[in-house]
Amino acid sequence: MGQNTAIEWAHHTFNAWTGCSKVSPGCEHCYAAEIAHRFQGTIGQWGPGGSRVLASEATWRQPLKWNRWAAEGVCYQCGGKRTVRVSRKDPTMIKCPACEGSGKMEPYRARVFCQSMSDVFEDWVGPVLNSNESRVTVNADGAWKDSGFKPTDASQWWGGDMESAFNWLRMDGIRQRLFRMIDATPHLDWLLLTKRPENIRDMWPEIDENDADLSTLLSSFHDAVNAQIASGLHGTAADQHIEFNQRLSVPYRRNVWLGTSVENQEQARRRIADILECSDLAPVLFLSCEPLLGPVDFIAVLQEILSAAVMKQVICPKPTPLTREQAIKSAKNLLDWFICGGESGREARPMHPDWARSLRDQCQAARVPFFFKQWGEYLPCERSVPGGTLSHTFWSDGRRARSDMQLSTIYQQGGFSMWHAGKKLAGGELDGRVWNEFPTVAEVRT
Ligand code: SF4
């Protein structure tokens, strides 16, 4: 979408650090892990025995610039320079499609995809290096300093005297700075997508009470209460006090969209319950079903979660679990957005069209916005492509066809084939249309 990211649903991408460990089948062909292996030494080593590499100070300054651009209506694509280059190899300069060449737009909210090369809520206790591959210490005044110490093997990273002799920068310290940045950029919506939603609440920092956003909130609250008191509605004003105090007791961040990845039903069961636990922390909760590796029935998961909650609360001999229709009606109040997409890359796994259709249909039934990002490398065989090869014949439950089976037999039994078309040709249309819905302000829970 923007000059700063190729991700269709965000204007910018920001990585406070890079490096991560794989946690579930969706991580198998992690793009960031592949890049890390290709450029070893520049962005650290991947996995549990590796390191995490801190962003440079120039990178940390970027969101402040994007925040100013959004507030002033400076184009997020060309940064006011009026033109964007199509590619480094192509010298043709084109007018920026976002600002139509003017460099100016109306003030807007910019979406920042945070940590595309790592996981914000990873419980990492190992070493953190800077881009010089040195460990970083924290001074008494809280400033970060290059220690000049470049560890050469894991024994120099934790345990032993070196570890306790210095105040090394830890992941919690970087996360604190990241959230201070989030709080200082109220014109940006930060999309925090994690495969570890169970860690969110424990790692969610308090809000700095001196921040400008909170001051604005406080003054609008006082204005509202004074207006209520002036009009004699004391009861309502008192209610607002109570609600506001409840809001202040949890560090709710109005400019965060909290998401979790769900690639199959097993992860849906684990992670939807965890992300719902965070509904008081941010106005938008979303699910990213990418790469989608199996059918996902999120309505069934909500039905189980809501039924369990009802059964716990109702004090009667025979409490009734929720019906599917009741779960569909409740979904809109619980989840705000779905992203769906297939896998890309050399070893990509195909996405059965019925999995994507089912997600779309559930979202439509529940009136939750649905964003279909891409097919990935494979396209359903109804839409053959020149040069594409027929491959991956399988059923919607994930069973693969044996290589000795006749295609006619497979199709008779409800099997399905995909074309290996390549990501570009496969594109992003589902049943003949683009699905690029977003949660709107009116739909977002407050
Ligand atoms: S959680 Fe994300 S960044 Fe980490 S390994 Fe998995 S896919 Fe890669």
Q: Are 370 and 340 in contact (CB under 8 A)?
A: yes
Ligand 1 atom showing the smallest separation from residue 118 Cα: 3
Query: Rounded to the nearest whole angstrom, what is the distance from the C-alpha of residue 288 to the centroid of ligand 1?
Result: 13
Query: Rounded to the nearest whole angstrom, what is the distance from the C-alpha of residue 178 to the centroid of ligand 1?
Result: 19
Query: Rounded to the nearest whole angstrom, what is the distance from the C-alpha of residue 118 to the centroid of ligand 1?
Result: 6
The closest residue, in CA terms, to atom 3 on ligand 1 is: 118
Task: Determine which of 110-114, 228-232, 391-395, 408-412 has the lowest per-residue pLDDT on average.
Answer: 228-232
The closest residue, in CA terms, to atom 8 on ligand 1 is: 30
Ligand 1 atom showing the smallest separation from residue 195 Cα: 1
pLDDT tens sequence across 177-188 = 999 999 999 999
Which phi and psi angles does 298 have, rounded to 5°? -75, -25
Query: Rounded to the nearest whole angstrom, what is the distance from the C-alpha of residue 137 to the centroid of ligand 1?
Result: 26
pLDDT at position 235: 46
CA distances (Å), origin 311, targets 26, 200, 323, 395:
33, 26, 13, 36
Mutate to test the pocket of ligand 1, among 18, 27, 31, 116 (most ligand atoms within 8 A of CB): 27
Q: How many helices (H) and strands (E) does the chain have?
A: 13, 19
Query: Rounded to the nearest whole angstrom, what is the distance from the C-alpha of residue 21 to the centroid of ligand 1?
Result: 6
Q: Which residues line ligand 1 (CB under 6 A)?
A: 20, 22-23, 27, 30, 32-33, 118-119, 195
Percent of the chain with pLDDT over 70: 79
pLDDT at position 314: 57
Ligand 1 atom showing the smallest separation from residue 196 Cα: 1
CA distances (Å), origin 147, targets 44, 130, 138, 139, 160:
17, 10, 9, 11, 17
pLDDT tens sequence across 18-66 = 999 999 999 999 988 888 777 765 545 678 878 899 999 999 999 999 9
pLDDT at position 72: 95
User: Using CA of residue 258, residue 262, residue 267, residue 269, what is the dihedral sign?
Assistant: positive
> Mean per-residue pLDDT for 137-156?
83
Residue 268 CA to residue 300 CA, distance in Å, equals 10
Task: Determine which of 131-145, 146-160, 186-200, 253-267 has the lowest per-residue pLDDT on average.
Answer: 146-160
| Residue 190 pLDDT exceeds 70 | yes
Across 77-81, 154-158, 161-165, 206-210, the highest mean pLDDT is recorded for 77-81
Which pLDDT band, with edges at 50, 70 and 90, does 246 fall under? low
The closest residue, in CA terms, to atom 6 on ligand 1 is: 27
Query: Rounded to the nearest whole angstrom, what is the distance from the C-alpha of residue 22 to the centroid of ligand 1?
Result: 6
| Residue 440 pLDDT exceeds 50 | yes
Q: Are 352 and 375 in contact (CB under 8 A)?
A: no
| Residue 295 pLDDT exceeds 60 | yes
DSSP string, 108-127: --EEEEE-TTB-TT----S-
Across 130-134, 256-260, 415-419, the highest mean pLDDT is recorded for 256-260
| Residue 404 pLDDT exceeds 80 | no
Q: Which amino acid is at 303?
A: Q
The closest residue, in CA terms, to atom 5 on ligand 1 is: 22
| Residue 300 pLDDT exceeds 60 | yes
Q: How many residues does the chain have?
A: 446
Query: Rounded to the nearest whole angstrom, what is the distance from the C-alpha of residue 401 to the centroid of ligand 1?
Result: 30
Residue 65 CA to residue 69 CA, distance in Å, equals 6
Residue 233 CA to residue 227 CA, distance in Å, equals 9
| Residue 445 pLDDT exceeds 60 | no
Q: Which two tokens stand for residue 429?
A: 């249309």
pLDDT at position 161: 65
The closest residue, in CA terms, to atom 4 on ligand 1 is: 20
| Residue 446 pLDDT exceeds 60 | no
pLDDT tens sequence across 310-327 = 777 655 666 788 899 999
pLDDT tens sequence across 336-390 = 999 999 999 888 999 999 999 999 999 999 999 999 999 999 888 765 566 666 6
pLDDT at position 156: 66
* SS3 label, residue 83: strand
pLDDT at position 291: 97
Which pLDDT band, with edges at 50, 70 and 90, does 244 fall under? low
Task: Determine which of 140-144, 235-239, 251-255 has the lowest per-residue pLDDT on average.
Answer: 235-239
Query: Rounded to the nearest whole angstrom, what is the distance from the C-alpha of residue 13 to the centroid of ligand 1?
Result: 15
The closest residue, in CA terms, to atom 7 on ligand 1 is: 27
Which pLDDT band, with edges at 50, 70 and 90, does 2 fall under? very low
Mean pLDDT value across the chain: 84
